[in-house]
Chains A and B, each alone.
Chain A
Amino acid sequence: MQGCNRSQKIAICTVGLPARGKTYISRKLNRYFNWLGYKSRVFINGNYRREICGTECNSLFFDPHNEEAQKARSDCAKMALQDLIQFLKNGGDVGILDGTNITKERRHQIENELKSSFNGIQTLWIESICNDSKVIQNNIRLTKINNPDYCNMNSEQATIDFLNRIKMYEQIYETITDDENLSYIKTMNVGADIIVHQVFGFLLSKIVSFIMNLHTYPRPIYLSRHGESQYNVDDRVGGDSDLSQLGEMYADKLADFFYQEFPTKEIKNDIIFLTSTMRRAVHTSDVVAQKLEIQPLQLKTLDEINVGICDGMTYTEIAQKFPNDFQERKINKLGYRYPRGESYLDLISRIEPVIFEIERSRQPVMIIAHQAILRCLYAYFHQNEIPEVPTLDIPLHCVIKLTPAAYFCDEKRVLINPQTGEISIKEEYVQEFVRSKSKQKSFIDL
């Protein structure tokens, strides 16, 4: 639900030493905002520095006493901020500045620049603090070693250099204090402690909730449609039909698959098992539930898209009875709303609480639902663009296992033959359009 005044811009700035998860938080927030329908972008100080100063910078470049380097870095940071301001002026809603911003002076400059460039902008500072050396080492291992800055070093050299870089920053680090009069959130040790200061407003409150629930546990999310339904066989939309014979067979094979996937009782009890309230999904889930001895939660939020007056018709019938609507939907499948029904955009809005709940969970998540709904869920975690949602491929009789990691999402597709139980696995399944996105032109383009 979007309750914010669109004319009010939002700028979010990160604060923290390197390897504290600032970029992770920035990306997650960016994803969340774009998903909710806001125009959001991340501006990474580090990327500007790489573009302009090159990637051959070792830790000495970050020495606070290295005046020349300091000036260069300061100029890069200013550019990032200016680009953010321009973005907001040209129709952007949320600008996220991903940088260390560890001195009061720097924060003061940025806050002033933002406040003076706009008539009523909301700024939010997010400081990530971490004293747990294990977590920091892990962060470095997962994200820094593959960093373009270290393409000429081996991982051991890279780690040493990076730790030196952090030491440089530590010399001048000033944590946010209340007298700076900033709206801020401090998250410490991956959410063990959170401090919220002067954060008011619809969207900012949502951000606080979102950040409180962020974690980096790599838990798997299993998505599957119900087994083939009677309406699938007849090629009809909507309705609340039950499973066909083939669908029932799939339910059995699906239960077997999950039984293998979750061998121990501890794991089973921890699973978050969600389904819709429609017969075909409930029926499929019940078979799985019985085999695993766990209970699914039936959520109306996961019910299939409401096709309104077209309920129970085939596409041919719709084309005949409502030719205008049929055409409209072809042109704009995303925004088209079935009369007395829903659009994909409505769906995206509808499932937001479920997404929140999945983000929050540190345990495996299992969802048995419907095509349109799963398209939305899949798109969110797989980082597809919203316009792609209505055409994503979510076939029947297939389990999609997503494992979101720090900056990307692993995917594995398990196609189960309902009759034979034969399984064929597609690892690293890539939807066509995703491939083209990876050809970045510069570091600044995210």
Chain B
Amino acid sequence: MQQYKKTQNKLILVLVGLPARGKTHISYKLNRYLNWIGYKSEIFSIKGAQQNNDQLDQNIDYELEIDPTNQQFVDFRQQLSFTAAHQLVNFLQNDGDIALYNGLTSTKLDRQKLKSLFKEKLKLEYQVFWIESICDDPQVILNNINESKLSRFKEKTIEQFMNHINVLAQDYESLENIENLSYIKLINIGKLVKVHMLEGYLCSKIVSFLLNLHANNRQIYLVRSCQTEYHLLDKIGGDPELSVTGKQNSQQLGDYFIEELKGNKNITFFTSQMKRGIQTAEIVGDKLGIKALKTKNLDEIDYGICDGLTVKEIAAKYPKQIKERKANPLEFKYPRGESFLDVIHRVEPIIYEIERSREPVLIIAHVAVLKCLYAYYHCNQISEIPNIDIPINCVIKLVPIPYHCLESRVIIK
């Protein structure tokens, strides 16, 4: 697997925080990102352990509904938390690279116990990084409950959730330097961030990533550049200009976005540095009254020696390569060109840009590049990338919401 740097050590990311502080959201986002850049990463949580255990009542939220007087509840919770931790250890002992832990971590004692468990059970080099989410903005907490808790437990009310949280808050202990842990504290969704004893390439990357996260559910539009003469000739690659039809379609795209964006000029607008990308973006941009930022990172995958050939010509000239590509489409690298893995690496800064943006994002690019971007939001495995369908003259609208991503496609006629 090609990664920028393979971790020598296994990495454990432990989440800390009261319920409705976005821990699950953060772990979900991080997990998605880490898998996308090529690490084998998984989340281990009380919820997960509960779902795997058929004997338990799935309607109870063991993370949240703690009644200190009900010893059975307390015990179950402990048990689930330990189960999750053991599953985590197992995962890392095998071929897992990074594990995220969302279990009992609210008190100093809990954390010490967890540290000891890892020390005792993990028979290899590992690093632990603690991620605490703190929130004292009641509006944000309310939003979190509405978006993520109520949908799962329909008989509960907001009041009941708030009561549960208050019970848990009484024993909650925030991370302190004296515990000698390497950590990041995110306070009120990144308004204030505290980092302590940051070490290592991967943790550094994770911190950079976390700094860009926010909770705005804004739209992301992925569009291919419009038709070129190469399309008509069935050629791949090259740097052709738009055909007449392509220009017309770009106009229609522009019209679509005028309606869709409703006059919002603050959008994040990117395109590649290839002629077809620039031209499509210019026509669309003119209609919207905004200019796209051109970046080489969004250029189409480099087809190497196959650049400019038709599909038939490639099949005739390079049958060996075609076979190789069929066998392993994700890692296949066009000779003197790139593989999908290279494209993912190249496109990573764009993902940061998209994550950071709190306004709608519009990206006009090319098939392979868009497959990689799409996969970040939608796929659980990057092996699915080569099979993603990104049709021309089609606007793919993605709206990331907690734990999920809404998608809609509109064909522009």
Q: Are A349 and B194 in contact (CB under 8 A)?
A: no
Residues of B within 8 A of A346 (CB): 296
Q: Are B296 and A198 in contact (CB under 8 A)?
A: no
Residues of B within 8 A of A52 (CB): none
On whether A212 and B198 interact (CB within 8 A), knowing A1-B297, A198-B192, A349-B296, the answer reads: yes
On whether A192 and B353 interact (CB within 8 A), knowing A209-B204, A300-B345, A340-B239, the answer reads: no
Type the 1/0 row for A329-350, where 1 means its CB is closer than 8 Å to any CB of B. Answer: 0000000000010100010011
Shortest Cβ gap from B342 to chain A (Å): 5
Q: Are B296 and A196 in contact (CB under 8 A)?
A: no
Residues of A within 8 A of B336 (CB): 240
Pick the contact of B191 from A1, A3, A191, A197 — CB < 8 Å? A197
Report the nearest A residue to B274, measured CB to CB.
A340
Q: Are A212 and B197 in contact (CB under 8 A)?
A: no
**Chain A CB within 8 A of B5 CB:** yes
**Chain B CB within 8 A of A208 CB:** yes
Best-surrounded residue of A191, A196, A360 (most CB of chain B within 10 A): A196
**Chain A CB within 8 A of B258 CB:** no
Pick the contact of A300 from B191, B239, B338 — CB < 8 Å? B338
Type the 1/0 row for B70-83, where 1 means its CB is closer than 8 Å to any CB of A. Answer: 00000000000000
On whether A197 and B4 interact (CB within 8 A), knowing A202-B353, A209-B208, A346-B296, the answer reads: no
Type the 1/0 row for B346-367, where 1 means its CB is closer than 8 Å to any CB of A. Answer: 0001100100100000000000
Residues of A within 8 A of B194 (CB): 193-196
Q: Are A205 and B356 in contact (CB under 8 A)?
A: yes
Interface positions of A from 194 to 214, Cβ below 8 Å from B: 194-199, 202, 205, 208-209, 212-213
**Chain B CB within 8 A of A174 CB:** no
Report the nearest A residue to B304, measured CB to CB.
A240
Residues of A within 8 A of B191 (CB): 197-198
Q: Are A212 and B207 in contact (CB under 8 A)?
A: yes
**Chain A CB within 8 A of B193 CB:** yes
Residues of A within 8 A of B211 (CB): 196, 199, 205, 208-209
Report the nearest A residue to B268, measured CB to CB.
A3
Q: Are A196 and B193 in contact (CB under 8 A)?
A: yes
**Chain B CB within 8 A of A299 CB:** yes
Bound-state Cα–Cα, A195 to B211, Å: 12
Q: Are A195 and B338 in contact (CB under 8 A)?
A: no
Type the 1/0 row for B196-209, where 1 means its CB is closer than 8 Å to any CB of A. Answer: 11100100100110
Bound-state Cα–Cα, A300 to B338, Å: 9
Report the nearest B residue to A361, measured CB to CB.
B201
Pick the contact of A191 from B198, B268, B350 — CB < 8 Å? B198
**Chain B CB within 8 A of A353 CB:** yes
Bound-state Cα–Cα, A213 to B202, Å: 12
**Chain B CB within 8 A of A385 CB:** no
Shortest Cβ gap from A424 to chain B (Å): 34
Bound-state Cα–Cα, A17 to B192, Å: 23
On whether A195 and B297 interact (CB within 8 A), knowing A205-B211, A240-B336, A353-B4, the answer reads: no
Bound-state Cα–Cα, A299 to B341, Å: 11
Pick the contact of A193 from B192, B195, B342, B345 — CB < 8 Å? B195
**Chain B CB within 8 A of A297 CB:** yes
Shortest Cβ gap from A230 to chain B (Å): 15
Residues of B within 8 A of A198 (CB): 191-192
Interface positions of B from 1 to 16, Cβ below 8 Å from A: 4-5
**Chain B CB within 8 A of A357 CB:** yes
Residues of A within 8 A of B345 (CB): 300-301
Type the 1/0 row for B247-267, where 1 means its CB is closer than 8 Å to any CB of A. Answer: 000000000000000000000
Q: Are A3 and B353 in contact (CB under 8 A)?
A: yes
Shortest Cβ gap from A383 to chain B (Å): 24
Shortest Cβ gap from A19 to chain B (Å): 23
Residues of B within 8 A of A209 (CB): 204, 207-208, 211
Report the nearest A residue to B341, measured CB to CB.
A300
On whether A196 and B356 interact (CB within 8 A), knowing A1-B295, A209-B211, the answer reads: no
Residues of B within 8 A of A299 (CB): 4
Best-surrounded residue of A3, A342, A353 (most CB of chain B within 10 A): A3
**Chain A CB within 8 A of B293 CB:** yes
Type the 1/0 row for A179-198, where 1 means its CB is closer than 8 Å to any CB of B. Answer: 00000000000011111111
Residues of B within 8 A of A360 (CB): 201, 204
Residues of A within 8 A of B (CB): 1-3, 178, 191-199, 202, 205, 208-209, 212-213, 240, 297, 299-301, 340, 342, 346, 349-350, 353, 357, 360
Selected A-B contacts with CB under 8 Å, 12 pairs = A3-B268, A193-B194, A193-B196, A195-B192, A198-B192, A209-B204, A209-B211, A212-B195, A212-B207, A301-B345, A340-B307, A357-B4
Query: Which 5 residue pairs are nearest across A and B when measured between Cβ atoms?
Result: A196-B193, A194-B195, A209-B208, A1-B349, A195-B194
Beyond A212-B204, A212-B208, 19 additional pairs, beta carbon < 8 A: A1-B297, A1-B349, A3-B268, A3-B293, A192-B196, A193-B177, A194-B194, A195-B192, A197-B193, A202-B356, A205-B211, A205-B212, A205-B356, A209-B207, A297-B4, A300-B342, A301-B345, A360-B201, A360-B204
